[in-house]
Structure formats: C-alpha cells, structure tokens
Structure 1
Amino acid sequence: MVGKKSGKALLREEGLERTDNNMDLTAWPQVNMINQKNYYTEYLKRDDQILPLRLQQEERRNRMTTNAKDRDRALAQFKPGEVPVPDIEMDLDDDVGLDEGNGLVGQDALGSKIIVIHPGSQNLRIGLASDALPKTVPMVIARRSTTNESEEDRGEPRPKRLKLDNDSPMEPEKMFGDEFASQYATMCTELKIHMRSHKRRVLPNSKELIVNYNKRTPPETISEHNDPLRIDWTEIPSDPRTAPPFVTGKDALRIPDFSNPRYKLFWPLRQGWYNEHDYDEKRVLYDDIAVIIEEAIKTQLNIPRKKDWMQYGCVFVVPDLYERRYVTQILRMLLRDFGFARVCFIQESLAATFGAGYTSACVVDIGAQKTSVCCVEEGMCLENSRINLKYGGADVTETFIKMMLFDHFPYSDINLNRRYDFLLAEEIKIKFCTLNEGDISPQPADFHLRASGQPTRKYLFKTYDEILLAPQGYFRPSIFDHSWKLRDRRRIIDRSRDLYDGSPNDPISTAQSAIIAMTAPPPPPLTSLASNGHGDAPDGMAVSTPVRQLPNPLQKFSEQERTSHSAIGSPAPDDDDTPAPQGDGETNGIKNELDPSLRDDVLPIAPLDVAILTSIIHGARNDDRKTRDFLGGIMVIGGGSQVPGLYTYLEERLRESRPGFAKDVMIGTPPRELDPQGVVWKGGSVFGKLRQTNDSWINRIEHDRLGARVLAYKLMWAW
C-alpha cells in the first residue's frame, strides 16, 4: 500500500511549489494611486496664493485708492465759479512708478530713474534710460600684483610663437605651426581663384612684393614733443602705501605695464562665461564684476552716493543662452549689494528688436568674444533657435596679427598681452580689415607705436589679402585659436542643477545642440567586444559615427526640405553612412537634454552662415512662411559686425547655401543710423521706459522672501 503523500511533496512533484526569486512581476513602471486628499486642493492655483502676483494686486489697489482720495480732496476744495477738476480714470495697468516710499513716482519712471546695464566680455555699456546713447567702459579691472599679465607664463607672447631648440625665434612662415600655415595658404589660393573668376586683377607676385617691403623697412623714431597724439598714461604713485588697490575702465588699460607697484588686468567675463582661469575664488570674481559696475555708475552716471541708488530701478541685459547661476548672482548683487529699488531682466536678442523697432527678426550679435544668433517673433525669443558661438571680433584681431607676422610684419615683437600692443592691434584691425574684394591690392600703410617711457615709433608696411582673410574667419572659424577657451572651465563655479533630481538645468536649445553635435569629436567606433561579444553589431544600431568637421554642412538643406515631414534638424553631413539628423528636439543623436560633460567639454564653433541657417530652421520649424520672414529680416549687430562689406558677403554666402530662398535673403542694418554696438542697450532703455504691463519688475521684498524662486514668476521667458 502506497503511503499518503504530503501536500508539499505533491506541489513539488507537480511543479506547483512557489519559489521566491525576488523579481518583480513586470518591468513596466508602476504608478502609485493618487492621494485623493491633496488631489482636490487649490494650492498655488489662484493668483492670490502667489506672493509676487499678490503684491502686484495690492500695489494696484493702493494706487487706485490713493488716486480716489486725491480726486475727492480736489473736489472738496472746489469753490463756486471755478472749473472743476476733470475726472481722469487711471488704467490699473499703468505702473508709472513705484510707491512714494521707494522714491520712483510720476515722470521719474520715464527713464531718469532707471539704469540700463549691458555687460560684455570686453566692454560694459551703461547709462540712464533717458540717455540717447550709453557710456562704454572696458569690462576690466587692474589690481595690485607682483607681476603683470605680460610677465606671466615666463613672458609667453600672444599670439604664441614656436621657437627653435636653442630658444631662438623661428622664421615667420614657421612660427605658428604647420596647421596654420596650411590653412592660411589654402585661404590665399581660394581667394586668388575667386577673384580671377570674378574678373578681378590679381598680380602674380603680390605676396613677394609685400614680404620684401616689410622686411627692409625700418621704423622711424619720433620724439614725444613732436607727437600730437601722444597718450596720457595713468599715473600711479610710487609709494605702495598711497597707490590705489584697483583701477577700472579706460584708466586700467592706460597703466604702464612696468609700473611700480605692478598691476595685473583681470577680465571677469570671457566668451560670455565667467573667467575661471584667472581667478581662484568665485567670491573674488563676483566682487570684481560688482566693482566694475559700481565704479561705472559713480563716474559715468555721476551718482556717487550709494544711498541714492535705492531711488533707482535697473534693467539688466542677459544673454539669450544664459547660465542660471549668472542670473541669480546678478539679481542678488543688484538688490542686496547695490540696493536698487527694483530690477528686471531682458534677453539680448529681444532687446535688439526693441532698440531697432522690429517685431520679428533673426538677430545676429557679433561681439568681441562670442556671437549669438536667435530668432525673435512677436516679442519673444524662440527657445529652440538660440545659438551661442565662442568667437568674435577679438579672434579676428589675433588672427589678423598672426597673418601679418606670417608676412614679415615689421613690428615682429608685438604681444597682445601688453596693454599698448592690445590697443594698437584693435586700432589696426578697425582701420584696415575689410570684406570688399575690390580693396585687395598691395597697399602702403603705417601706424604709430606709443609705449610709456619710450619715444613714439612710426612703422611703414604693406598689406595685401590679410585684411580680407582675417574677417573671413567668421566663415572658417578653424583658422582661429580655440585651444585656450575651455581652460579651467567649471573649476570654481559648478553648473546649476535641479533641486530635486540633481540634473543640470541651464537652458539649451535644439539649434545649439546641432552646433555642438557638428563640433563634437566622433565617439570611438564599435568593436567586436563592445557590440555583442560575437563580432557583430546589435540589430538596429549603426556602426558609423558622425564626422568631426563638416566640409560643407549646407549641401543637403534642399534635400531635407523635400523629404522631411517634421521639424528639420541640423544640417546632415555629406557622409552617406552617417545617421540622418532627427527632427523636433533631437539632432544627430543628441537630444535637448545634452550630456553635461559634452556641454562643458565641447566648444560650440560653426561658420556664421551655418549658424544663421541652423537657427532659422529650428526657429521656423519647417514653416516656409516663417523661414522666408526670418531670412528677409536678418539683423547683424555688435562691434564685430562693423567690418566693411560684411553684410554683402554674408548675403552671398546665404544665397549660395539656400538657392531656393535666394530672393528672400536680406541683411538689415539698425534703423535711424544707430550704432550697431549700442542697439541692445538702446532696446533695454526702451523697455525700461515702457508702462510695466509685463509685470517683470522684481523688488526687494519679493527677493527677500522668495530668493531666486521669484524669477519663475517674473521673467518674460520660461525660467
């Protein structure tokens, strides 16, 4: 007789025994049930629950009450036979000033009590909103130091020259390396071919003529009393106890390099970023920015007493692609350190359209060290069209000097780290550089070298194609020196991160992602071990990788327009094996949320015409009407745009790249003969004088209670 089996034995034999392997039943994320208690609340769903909005309503209500009392008081004082006071209805949105306690009332808000500040990497533009033009101050501060900037790094000059093994200088044709020599020779050959194809006269031995002339022309010495344009240098007391601890503005650039005591120049902003290379503590960096702006307000605006600043408001211009730590630090500085009554922010491209009076435009702002491109439509910067390139007019200056030295420039000892050489190089670039091919011919020129404690020297030299090839670097940025621009990036100031998940939350656009994707080096190719362990790549994964630099990224624009049915991505490379760029938020495999390391390690560099078309494509989102509007409303501003012939040259490049829209391309200039360098500041002053229906002003009470969180309610764009 077979014995009776237990229940466990039966489950084990039948395979029904339960075993716990600690695995979930499914890999799909499980959504928790809604908390019904909190789901039906009205927390932060009404305006009266948000402090900034509640304060605005209270201010309007108090102003309406005050106006009613004033009207009743005037009517009570009315006597028989007199004309009664007209009943004027006040618009509740007419915010003509702050309350009487803050000092901005009545006509003061039309500009005389509002300070507009637009800082840049090289210059600071500042003034009252009632001023016609801003005051321009170099964004630099000179501080006491043991050495000056030209004595650091063992006196390494800029641009950097190669030397022989015995530390003697190389020949000019070799002192900048083979790569620069090859690119320069290629640009010279292409220019010669282009000029011949356009029936322009080209002398066969023009280079040899100017090189021989520059070699054998010595300088002429001029005594100081015979120099009518001699420079007044900043005098520094010889006693270190009475010497000032710092000097700002133009006076800082006029301090003799070898003064006693020594002074070193510090530029707090470089390439539109914080200059973390020259600073060891972020507190010192923040203080230098505050000191430069504070001294400019005292000296340029004639407001010396800091206690009077609480009667003023401030309009501060920030980049289109800003960093959140920069904006929050500036807000804290303006309200707490400076004591302004209220502050508001405006983006550079939007301010440019305010200053020019345009409603829609593609704004191209070429600054000293950065170039920004952004499409503006109906008073808003299109987020996905924002591009920030890290080159500008200063790169043209350095490249122009390198090309001149390559062709045996007579002043071979020029060093842009020296203050007087830096000012001389800027003067020469502004005087000679052009993009008009008709000006290309061997031409004699001269300049005067003025250094402190030395007699004036007059140099004679000749120029040829250097004056055109240097500004052509905007369209061939590989000729620029980018080796130092990422040095010490994120060394003392970390990236802003989200409070909850810790992810980077600085703004990024799909257009900027496309530029970074084109600039980034290709990832390593997939190996047999890295693919699937059997020597084959996984299904659906392309083995090819994007190329580092595109020879002509615009060749497939027309093809993309014919085949794409969604938002056009970035320009596709010429390599057929390269994956095509994805549309609507993803370009070349890089989504809107870029890898933080890629953001910080890759310098966004692209030809100017490529950047403009990329911005327009991502801003128009495959809408032909918007594309034509933006191509017909390109506005080029900034100090770097003042190269003669730039507008015509840029139009030709854009028409060649987009033949289907050739008749629509038009480069506009700022109207009313505005200086291209001051258009952004002018827009800030116009914005400051508007009746504040946009509710973008931030006062001290809001900042003290909410801190940087108030920006989410006050900014005109998504924070």
Structure 2
Amino acid sequence: MEFSSWPQVPMINQKNYYTEFLKRDDQILALRLQQDERLNARKKAAVDIDRARAQAAQEGLPFLEPDPDLDEDEAMNDDDIDNYGSKTIVINVGSQNMRLGLATDALPKTVPMVIAKKAARSEAEDSEPRPKRVKLDEDAPSEEWFGEDFAREYNAMAQDFRTSRRGNKRRVLPNSRELVIKWNSTTPPERIPEHSDPLRIDWTELPANPAKAPDYIVGSAALRLPEKSKPRYQLYWPLRHGWLNEKEYDNRNMLERDFFLILEESIKNELGLTHKKDWNQYSCVFIVPDLYEKAFVTKVLDELIRDFGFQRVCFIQESLAATFGAGYGAACIIDMGAQKTSISCVEDGMVIEESRVNLKYGGYDVTETFAKMMLFDRLNYADFNLMRRHDFLLAEELKEGFTTMSDENITVQTYDFHLRASGQETRKYTFKIYDEGMLAPLGYFRPTIFDHSKKLIGRHKLIPRSVDLYNGHPNDPLSPAQLAVIAYVNQTIPSAVMPAPAKPARLMPTPMVSTPSKQRLLGLPAHLNGDKDATPLSSPAASPPAEDAGTPHPTGEDANGDEVGDLKGAQPDTEVMDRTVPIMPLEQAILTSIHHGSGADERRRREFMGSIMLIGGASKTPNLGPYLEMRLRAAVPQYPKEILVASPPRELDPAMLVWKGGSVFGKLRMTNDSWIGALEYDRLGARILNYKCLWHW
C-alpha cells in the first residue's frame, strides 16, 4: 500500500539524461524578439515588393526586381539613413563636458557637466582655495606656499628641462627664473572700466525678485552666474575623474538626480526637444568608458528607459566609438579627457579587454598645475582661485593659450590677460613666464607633479561596488593592464596611495596582490627593456583556490612582466585598490596596454604601435603627438620605425571624435543587435545587458 495518494516522481537516471533548457535561441527573449523583428521586416518588405510590382504592371512600366542577397542597410538610400538618424540621440558624458546631439548632426553640442543650485554660500565661500596653499602668507617664500614636495618636484623638472635643452643645442639663460619672479612681483595690474571693455562677459541674469529665481541652472549659464548673486548659487559637478562624485554629495538620490537633470535639461534646451512626451519616438546611443562601473551603467539604462521614455537604448565603449569615427580597423586609442585618460587597443570592432587602462589625470590637472607654477613664480594675480567661476574660466583660457610641448620658443616672454568679474572693473595683468607652459603638460609623463591627494575621497561612500551574487567578488571589469598600473603605483609612487582606514571596510575577501620580484628600467615589459633572460610574455598560471572555486577573475602581468592576480578565486586586494590612484607616465601606460593587448603576437604589437591615435580635448596641446612619439621611441629603441602617433583623420576635432563614432554607430539599423527596448527591459531588467552588449558584460 502507498503511503500517500500524491504521485511519486521517479529518480532521474544519472547515466543518461538530457535537457534543452536555454539551448535554443527561441528560448531566450532577447534573441527571440530580434528574430521576430527581422521576420516582420522581411514580411513587410515582401508586401512592399508585391505592391510595387502590381503598380508597375498596372502602369505598364518595367519593374526592377531587388537583389534578395542585399542587406537592408545596403538597400537604404541616404534619405532613409538620415531620417533614421534624425530620431537617434547620441550622448557622451565626461567629467567636465558633455557632448550630445542627433546622429545626423555634423557636430555635437558641448555642455559643461555642472549644475548650480540655490544655497546659502557659493562654492568659493564654502571651500578652501585651489590650488591649495600650505601657507597663505604672501610674504613667505614661494617654496612654502605649496609645500616641500611640490617645490622639490618642480625644481627637479626645471633642472631636467634645462639639461635637455642644452642637449638639444638650445640657448639657456642662467637667470631666467629670477627675471620672471622680479617682473611679476613688481608689476601691478591696469584697471579698465567695465563699459570700456569691448570683450566684457555677459553674465547670467537673474530676476529682480529673488523668490522668482530658478531652483537650478545647468550648463554654461551656471558657470556665468555672478559669485555674489542674489540668491546665492553653489556649483556641483556630478562626475569627477570618470566616477560619480561621491565626495561632494551626502545623498545618493541627490547625486543621481543632478546627473540626470543635466542630461534632461540639455536635451530640452540644446536639441529643442522640449516636450518629454515626444521622447518615446527617439532612440539613444549612450557612450560608456572602457573600464566602466556596472552600477552606473544599469542606473543609466533604467533612467533612460523608464523616466526619459526613449524607444530603445544601446551602449558603446569609448575606444570602439573612436575607431568608428576615425574609420580605423585596429588602433591603440589614447583618450585624454579633463580628469581621466583611457588607453585601449581595438581590433576588428572589439576592444581588447586585457589592454584597457584608465588613468586618473587629464587636462584639469594641467590647468591646476600651470596655475600653481605661475603662482610659485610670483604671478601678480596672487589671489588666483579655481573655485571661483571667473578664475576657472580664466585658467582654462590661459592653459589653451600658453601651454605647449615644443621647446623651440621657450624663453622669458611677456604676455597679458584680462580678469573679468561680475560687478568689478576689468583688470589687465601683464606677466612673464619662462618654462611653466611646457612643464605643466609635461606632467603627463611625470604625474607626480599633479595633486592626487583628494581624488579618492568619498569613493564608494554612497554607491557600493557591484559584487557577484554567488561569491561576493567585485563585478566591475578589471584588466591585467590596469592591475599593472596599480602595482606600479604601489611600488614607485607612495604619495598616490591613500593611508589605510583605522577600521577596514567590510567589503569582501581580500587576498593579497603578488609583488613584482625585481625592478626594471621604466617599469616596461621585460622583453621591451632588453632583458634577454626573460620571455616575451609568460602565460599566467591558474592556481587552485584554497576554498572558493568561484568564477574566473582577471589575470595578467604587471608592467615588469610579473604575474598579478590569479585565475580562480584569487582577487587583487580590493581595499588596496580602492586606496590607490591609478597613475603612470603616459608612454609607459601606452606600452603596458599594447603589451597586454598584443599578447605574444609580435605582428599585432607592431600593428598597434604603428596606429596610436591621440584623441580627447586634452590632446590638443600643441606638439603633444610628436613629443609622445619621441618618448615612446626612446623607451623602446628596438622599434625605431614602427611607432607612429597620429591625430584623427580628415581634420576631425579630437574632442568630438568619440561622439562622432557614436553617431555613426547609431545610424546602423538591422545590423545593430545591441538595441534594448522597453519590453525587454521590463521583463529581464539589467540582465538584458548580458545579451545586448557588444562586449563581455
């Protein structure tokens, strides 16, 4: 007799069982919807052909049968492509500027990534001056203004620069610095009445009644607000150093709200799409960094689909977008932005994952260092403060006008600038500089001159790191090349490693990073340093884990060719990585990226070295490309003819190239399978990115 009337399920035969779960494309929603869309398109095309054939027969005209092997994208004429692209918005956000526009636009609109909100005090009144002064006494020696470390680094760079100029047969005056300091410290400014200044600034006007002033202002208008406006406004930058700015915010919702508020207002004001209810007719291409944060990408996807209401959204990586814009098949892309520099090797429409490098310095660091060097040499505008809006705009203007990487015309020269502040007379400053204009951008190759002390403050304070649900390991992408940069910093630049907290944060298991066994010149790969005993690229061995056999994690070598990380279970010390500012001299970072991107293939290495492309706003520094090429050839003399650093082709603006590539990508129609619609996102959520991203999510 049976114990129960409930049917008994027999045991599965362990020797022979089979399942078809998720083994066919029609069982995956994302792929099934793509197949249905293509089937519907073919049905519609067949109906249109039959209708056209019948119409031609009725009118007695010949009918040209279309080629059945022709793709739909190839069959589309220019008008169809333009109509398709006119409904596609391309967005490329940066730490300092955002570029957005329709895919059919020739050039994007540039919007500062800043929002001004009502506050009791402005940001200049509420924070310490930048550059940070160690001693505020103007009568104190310059060496005491910014600390001994900066003075020592600056004097060492100046000495090396004089030595190199003598080696290049350039004339070097022994008292150049003294001439600059004497002139700047004794020349007062000239005052010009505001009504006599033909280039006076049009400041953002506010209503006479403070109660009617807007709660927030975004973009360029925010930077043109007077410092002592009524009511007061304070500027916030939601993105800093390529990350969401957790340092200046106390609330995650407010941080994300400001970020998307800038996007929303920019779409309304710059693109003329003032009615949000019409946005469901538009698609959006959003460009993300090569080394992105998953929490950021998933939040962007959710906001663009649910709140913005776009018809569909797709993501593309920065370096891949750059190759689309330039028309390159394979290249080493160096994207130099305001606060970060990313380096990646791209081949056949794919970013090589092992080669991705993200360095936390850029054009703003040069701006701050240039101002610091001029103040060190007693600039007669001693009250320079980058936290003030008019001073920030002035500093950017001075950097664009006077910085260069060419030492041909480096002599003591006299220049002038006009300081324009709201409600004040215009002041004309006449000043002298010597080598500051070249030493400041030289920091790309000597990043210890930059100030890295506050770049990691507040990191993961509001937004926790994305972790794997099964084993708790970090989920964000991390490349062997980036691990090599972190190992280099921990070895050679202790000032860029923040001190450990008193109580370690409870994040996840933190096995130790393997320490490189020996030093080599420039921190380059072994075979690039003339080390004949070392192999070109050792194969990283997979060490068995002690307890956790989790998913594979990034593995690779550091810049010296020594192994960093492990294949299973062994994860770099996350707490150490969160305290390390990833910086490295630019030429070493490029060689490290190419080394990991090419593997042991010498042909690929030579191909990447011959197609290095400089893009980004910070790459516009005069003569930066030839100087970088010279540094690379000096670092790897065994490649005298292969190395080539080029600017974007067809005279494209380096700052716009990534956006341009996104616009080209946005015009692709049926061949682009990365679009994410509202139906797919409603059913699968962020899991849809596993099926839709063009790279390994």
The verdict on how the C-alpha distance between 1:80 and 1:238 changes in structure 2, with shifts beyond 3 A counting, is closer
Q: Which residue does the alignment assign to 1:237?
A: 207
Q: How far off is 1:319 after superposition?
A: 0.2
Shift of 1:43: 0.6
Partner of 1:134 in structure 2?
108
Shift, 1:593, TM fit: 3.6
**Residue 182 of structure 1: which of 152, 159, 164 is its match?**
152
> By how many angstroms is 1:432 displaced?
0.3
Q: Report the alpha carbon displacement of residue 645 of structure 1 after superposing the two structures with TM.
A: 1.4
Provide, for residues 563-591 of structure 1, a one-character-per-residue CA deviation record: whole Å limited to 9, x for no partner. Answer: 44463699xxxxxxxx9978696369999
Q: Hey, what does 2:134 align to over in structure 1?
A: 162
Q: What is the aligned partner in structure 1 of residue 656 from structure 2? A: 678
For 1:40, the equivalent position in structure 2 comes to: 18
1:209 equivalent in structure 2: 179
Q: 2:379 aligns to what?
A: 409
* Structure 1 residues 207-235: Cα deviation after superposition (integer angstroms, max 9, x where no partner): 11111111111100001111110000001
Secondary structure of the residue that 2:142 maps to in structure 1? coil
- Tell me the residue number matched to 1:61: 39
Unaligned runs of 5+ in 2: 1-10, 495-511, 541-556
The superposition leaves residues 173-210 of structure 1 with CA deviations (integer Å, 9 ceiling, x where unpaired) of 31001111111111111111111111100111111111
Q: Is the 8 A contact 1:521 1:547 kept in 2?
A: no
TM-score, normalised with respect to structure 1:
0.86
**1:690, CA displacement in angstroms?**
2.0
1:667 aligns with 2:638: no
Structure 1 position 293, deviation (Å): 1.0
Conservation of the 8 A alpha-carbon contact between 1:172 and 1:406: yes
Taking the aligned partners of 2:59 and 2:207, their CA distance within structure 1 comes to: 73
Unaligned runs of 5+ in 1: 1-32, 99-104, 525-541, 571-578
Q: Distance in 2 between matches of 1:462 and 1:592?
A: 55
Cross-structure match for 1:322: 292
Q: Distance in 1 between matches of 2:665 and 2:369?
A: 37
Aligned pairs (5 A) from 1:437-456: 437-456=407-426
Greater gyration radius: 1
CA distance in structure 2 between the aligned counterparts of 1:421 and 1:38, rounded to whole angstroms = 75
What whole-Å deviation, never above 9, does each CA across 1:91-133 have from its counterpart, x for those lacking one? 69637999xxxxxx95555411111100000000001110111
The alignment status of 1:88 with 2:66, answered yes or no, reads yes
| Matches of 1:561 and 1:692, distance apart in 2 | 50
CA, structure 1 residues 606+548, in 2 after alignment: closer, same or farther (shift >3 Å)?
farther
**Residue number in structure 2 paired with 1:424:** 394
Q: Distance in 2 between matches of 1:276 and 1:580?
A: 29
Cα distance change of structure 1 residues 549 and 317 upon mapping to structure 2, 3 Å threshold: farther
**Cα deviations by residue, 1:249-289 (Å, 9 ceiling, x for unpaired):** 10000001111111111111100001001111111111111
- Residue in 2 that maps onto 1:712: 690
Which shifted more, 687-696 or 194-203? 687-696
Q: Pick the aligned partner of 1:372 from 332, 342, 345.
A: 342
Which residue matches 2:90? 116
Letter in 2 for 1:388: N
How far apart are the structure 1 equivalents of 2:333 and 2:669? 25
Distance in 2 separating the partners of 1:160 and 1:328: 36
Give 1:523 shift: 13
TM-score, normalised by the number of residues in structure 2: 0.88
Flag the 1:277–1:34 CA change in 2: closer, same or farther, 3 A: farther
**Can you list the C-alpha shifts for 1:289-346, whole angstroms capped at 9, x where unaligned?**
1111111111111111111111111111000000001110111111111111111111
- What is the CA-CA distance between 1:692 and the residue it aligns to? 3.4
Aligned length: 652
For 2:69 and 2:584, locate their aligned partners in 1 and report how far apart those are by CA, in whole Å. 49
Give the equivalent residue in structure 2 for 1:6.
none
Counterpart mapping for 1:278-317 below 5 A: 278-317=248-287
* 1:494 is aligned to 2:488: no
Give the distance between the partners of 1:485 and 1:295, measured in 2 at CA.
28
1:618-658 superposed Cα distances (whole Å, 9 cap, x missing partner): 00112211111111100011111111111111111101110
Alpha-carbon spacing, 1:384–1:41, altered in 2? closer, same or farther (3 Å): same
SS of match in other structure, 1:363: strand
Give the counterpart letter for 1:678 in structure 2: M
Cα gap change, 1:453 to 1:557, in 2 (>3 Å): farther
Determine if contact 2:162/2:172 at 8 Å carries over to the other structure: yes
Q: Which of 418, 421, 434 matches 1:464?
A: 434
Cα distance in 2 for partners of 1:228, 1:300 equals 28
Answer whether contact 1:510 1:592 (CA < 8 A) is retained.
no
Q: Distance in 2 between matches of 1:639 and 1:51?
A: 41
For residues 34 and 619 of structure 1, do their structure 2 counterparts lie closer, same or farther at Cα, with a shift above 3 Å needed? farther
Q: Distance in 2 between matches of 1:364 and 1:649?
A: 14
Structure 1 equivalent of residue 358 of structure 2: 388
For residues 588 and 69 of structure 1, what CA distance do their matches in structure 2 show? 57
Task: Please say if 1:357 is aligned against 2:322.
Answer: no
How far, CA to CA, are the matches of 1:660 and 1:580 in structure 2? 21
Cα offset for 1:89? 5.0
State the percentage of identical aligned residues: 57
- CA distance 1:67–1:694, shift in 2 (3 Å): closer
* 2:124 pairs with one of 143, 150, 160: 150
Q: Is the 8 A contact 2:107 2:660 kept in 1?
A: yes
Q: Which amino acid aligns with 1:443?
A: Q
| SS of structure 2 residue aligned to 1:241 | helix
